[in-house]
Amino acid sequence: MERSAFGVCSYLGDKMGLASARVRLYFIYLSFVTLGSPVIFYLFVAFWLNVKRYIKNKRSLIWE
C-alpha cells in the first residue's frame, strides 16, 4: 500500500525518526483540521521524490 501511495509518509518518517503510521495519522488529522491543505504538501513531496528517484536512476545508468 505504501509504495502505491508514493512513499511520502515513510520518507518523512525516516527523516524525522518517526514511524510512518504516525506520520500518516498526522496527515489525516491535519487534513480534517485544516480542510485538506496538507494534501497539497503531500502531492508536492510525492512529486519531488519522484523527480529525485528519476534523477538518481539516470545517474546510475550514465555511470554504468
pLDDT digits (tens, 9 = 90+) for 33-46: 998 888 888 889 98
CA dist 54 and 7 (Å) reads 14
Number of domains in the chain: 1
CA dist 17 and 19 (Å) reads 7
Residue with cell 496527515: 27
Q: Which helix (H) or strand (E) holds 64?
A: none
Residue 27 has pLDDT above 70, yes or no: yes
Residue 56 has pLDDT above 80, yes or no: yes
Q: Alpha-carbon dihedral of residues 10, 48, 30, 19, nearest 10 degrees?
A: 10
Domain range holding 38? 3-63
How much is the pLDDT for 64? 58
